[in-house]
């Protein structure tokens, strides 16, 4: 399976930029009211769809429901005061829920009917077109209709043309804005004539075929231990108790910290790789994980350890797929090539004489070829095999006619 990026200049790129918001106390009251009105609207239009179907066997479309919005202006100005765009966003959200419900029905999957939402779980609103909001980057503000100018921290430069936005409340106290931008122009980097294979390890590190080991992911270990600690504590708390509420809050704080640390790490590593290499080859994580989960069921080292292992594992996997995701979009911007290869045998094959044997890998990190005696760090040996597999694929396939999968 090959993923490649050979983007053409005329391609328009789309990116999402996420920034923290710092609303005033007064604005927080309004933002919460905005969430409440949209939650109410969602439930009302859901009820409308259910009712019409039940009593008249009629289905209502998104456009039908949009028409009723104008009547709403007279009866419920409190809902429409934030502009038509945000109301439409809520209607679209319901429409998406129905569409995916029908899709799941069609394909015979387990299909849950769209449900009424409780306000405690309703944490975001969407503006799906360009009215009702204005970005004022120089003033570090975003203007929302009916709310005012909210302070934004632009942690990185906004690029392209802002198309739509989502406002989200996290943990009942923090607010964020996600801005989807189109028409981003690629910033092509000069050729480096360097190529690299990367091994994404279980021991929290990225290994490059040139021998570089990147251990940044180890920083996460401490937070991961905390995460395990708090989740075990949560399991022991009584449902509905104050204690449970507190532990839950701690848990989500740790979660957020991990998310941020990982994101920083992955941004840094992906930037470095893209700047320094024209071709980057990695293992296809989908294939890799499939073989891993098969193995997991065979050796079962007791429930608790298994749980902990599973938790760490999933955090790690999420980290690697994020790293790849960042790499792919940066590659697109910089016109670099990334190839995913089948990870089979990459750890058992000698990168020198190509001899494949399980016995080549004596320990977790030592590789010693029983054919030619080649001795190397196991991950570096694997990274070299990965690079070679990628080059072979590149030679075999004319990348220009290959159907590009794009960023995954
Ligand atoms: Zn060998």
Q: How many angstroms does the Cα of residue 210 sit away from the middle of ligand 1? A: 18
Q: What is the DSSP pairing of strand 195-200 with strand 279-283?
A: parallel
CA distances from 372 to 69, 134, 350 (A): 75, 66, 9
Query: Does residue 290 register a pLDDT over 70?
Result: no
* Cα gap 342→340, rounded to integer Å: 7
Start-to-end CA distance of the chain, whole Å, equals 12
Q: How many angstroms does the Cα of residue 354 sit away from the middle of ligand 1? A: 6
In a domain, 293, yes or no: yes
In a domain, 349, yes or no: yes
Query: Does residue 28 register a pLDDT over 50?
Result: yes
At 247, give phi and psi (nearest 5°). Answer: -60, -40
Query: Does residue 26 register a pLDDT over 50?
Result: yes
Q: How many angstroms does the Cα of residue 353 sit away from the middle of ligand 1? A: 4
Q: Which residue has the higher pLDDT, 101 or 402?
A: 101
Mean pLDDT computed over 195-215 = 85
Cβ(126)–Cβ(89) below 8 Å: yes
Average pLDDT over the chain, rounded to an integer: 84
Give the HSE-up count for residue 32: Cα atoms under 13 Å, Cβ half-sphere: 11
Q: pLDDT (tens digit, 9 = 90+) per residue, 115-142? A: 999 998 899 999 999 899 999 999 999 9
pTM of the model: 0.62
Q: How many angstroms does the Cα of residue 213 sit away from the middle of ligand 1? A: 22
Q: Which residue has the higher pLDDT, 405 or 183?
A: 183
Lowest mean pLDDT among 32-46, 102-116, 202-216, 298-312: 298-312
Confidence of residue 153 (pLDDT cuts 50, 70, 90): very high
Confidence of residue 217 (pLDDT cuts 50, 70, 90): low
Residues 144 and 209 placed together within one structural domain of the fold: no
Residues 178 and 306 placed together within one structural domain of the fold: no
Query: Which residue segment(s) compose the domain that 355 sits in?
Result: 195-396
Q: How many domains does the chain have?
A: 2
Confidence of residue 256 (pLDDT cuts 50, 70, 90): confident
Predicted confidence at residue 296, as pLDDT, reads 38
Residues 260 and 366 placed together within one structural domain of the fold: yes
Decide which of 184, 206, 225 is a domain's last residue.
184
* Cα gap 405→103, rounded to integer Å: 23
Q: How many angstroms does the Cα of residue 205 sit away from the middle of ligand 1? A: 25
Predicted confidence at residue 408, as pLDDT, reads 33
Predicted confidence at residue 313, as pLDDT, reads 59
* Cα gap 258→264, rounded to integer Å: 10
Q: pLDDT (tens digit, 9 = 90+) per residue, 155-177? A: 888 989 999 999 999 888 899 99
375's tokens: 């001795």
In a domain, 6, yes or no: no
Distant-in-sequence, close-in-space partners of 122: CB < 8 Å, separation ≥ 6: 35, 36, 38, 39, 42
Q: How many angstroms does the Cα of residue 288 sit away from the middle of ligand 1? A: 24
Cβ(325)–Cβ(3) below 8 Å: no
Q: How many angstroms does the Cα of residue 192 sit away from the middle of ligand 1? A: 30
Residue percentage of the chain with pLDDT more than 70: 84
Residues 336 and 264 placed together within one structural domain of the fold: yes
Q: How many angstroms does the Cα of residue 382 sit away from the middle of ligand 1? A: 13
How buried is residue 179: exposed, middle or buried, by Cβ count under 10 Å (0-12/13-18/19+)?
buried
Q: How many angstroms does the Cα of residue 3 sit away from the middle of ligand 1? A: 29
Q: How many angstroms does the Cα of residue 321 sit away from the middle of ligand 1? A: 31
Residues 177 and 199 placed together within one structural domain of the fold: no
Q: How many angstroms does the Cα of residue 259 sit away from the middle of ligand 1? A: 41
* Cα gap 118→112, rounded to integer Å: 17
Confidence of residue 402 (pLDDT cuts 50, 70, 90): very low
Residues 141 and 232 placed together within one structural domain of the fold: no
191's tokens: 């050729």
CA distances from 395 to 1, 336, 402 (A): 14, 16, 12
In a domain, 189, yes or no: no
Query: Does residue 375 register a pLDDT over 90?
Result: yes
Decide which of 184, 205, 226 is a domain's last residue.
184
Among the ranges 129-143, 178-192, 226-240, which has the highest mean pLDDT value?
A: 129-143
Predicted confidence at residue 255, as pLDDT, reads 83
Residues 149 and 46 placed together within one structural domain of the fold: yes
Residues 202 and 99 placed together within one structural domain of the fold: no
Cβ(201)–Cβ(216) below 8 Å: no
Q: How many angstroms does the Cα of residue 149 sit away from the middle of ligand 1? A: 65
In a domain, 382, yes or no: yes
Mean pLDDT computed over 306-333 = 74
């Amino acid at each position: 399976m090959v993923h490649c990026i050979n983007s053409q200049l005329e391609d328009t790129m789309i990116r999402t930029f996420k920034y923290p918001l710092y609303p005033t106390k007064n604005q927080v009251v309004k933002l919460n009211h905005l969430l409440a009105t949209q939650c109410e609207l969602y439930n009302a239009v859901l009820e409308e769809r259910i009712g019409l179907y039940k009593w008249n066997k009629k289905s209502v479309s998104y456009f039908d429901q949009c028409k009723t919005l104008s009547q709403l202006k007279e009866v419920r100005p409190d809902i429409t005061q934030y502009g038509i765009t945000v109301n439409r966003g809520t209607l679209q959200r319901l429409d998406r829920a129905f569409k995916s419900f029908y899709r799941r029905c069609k394909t015979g999957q387990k299909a849950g009917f769209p449900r009424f939402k409780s306000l405690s779980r309703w944490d975001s609103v969407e503006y799906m077109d360009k009215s009702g909001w204005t970005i004022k980057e120089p003033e570090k503000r975003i203007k929302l209709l009916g709310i005012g100018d909210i302070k934004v921290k632009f942690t990185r430069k906004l690029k392209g043309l802002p198309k739509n936005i989502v406002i989200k409340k996290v943990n009942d106290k923090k607010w964020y804005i996600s801005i989807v931008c189109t028409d981003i122009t690629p910033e092509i980097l000069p050729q480096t004539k360097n190529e690299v294979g990367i091994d994404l390890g279980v021991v929290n590190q990225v290994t490059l075929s040139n021998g570089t080991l990147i251990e940044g992911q180890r920083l996460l270990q401490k937070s991961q231990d905390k995460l395990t600690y708090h989740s075990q504590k949560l399991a022991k708390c009584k449902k509905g108790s104050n204690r449970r509420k507190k532990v839950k809050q701690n848990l989500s704080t740790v979660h957020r910290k991990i998310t941020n640390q990982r994101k920083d790490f992955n941004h840094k590593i992906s930037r470095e790789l893209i700047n320094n290499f024209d071709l980057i080859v990695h293992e296809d994580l989908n294939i890799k994980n499939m073989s891993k989960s098969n193995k997991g069921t065979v050796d079962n080292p007791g429930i608790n350890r298994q749980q902990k292992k599973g938790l760490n594992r999933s955090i790690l996997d999420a980290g690697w797929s994020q790293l790849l995701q960042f790499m792919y979009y940066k590659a697109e911007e910089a016109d670099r090539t990334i190839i995913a290869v089948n990870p089979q045998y990459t750890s058992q094959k000698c990168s020198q004489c190509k001899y494949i044997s399980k016995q080549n890998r004596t320990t977790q990190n030592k590789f010693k070829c029983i054919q030619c005696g080649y001795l190397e760090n196991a991950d570096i040996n694997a990274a070299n095999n990965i690079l070679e597999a990628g080059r072979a694929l590149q030679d075999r396939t004319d990348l220009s006619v290959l159907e590009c999968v794009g960023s995954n």
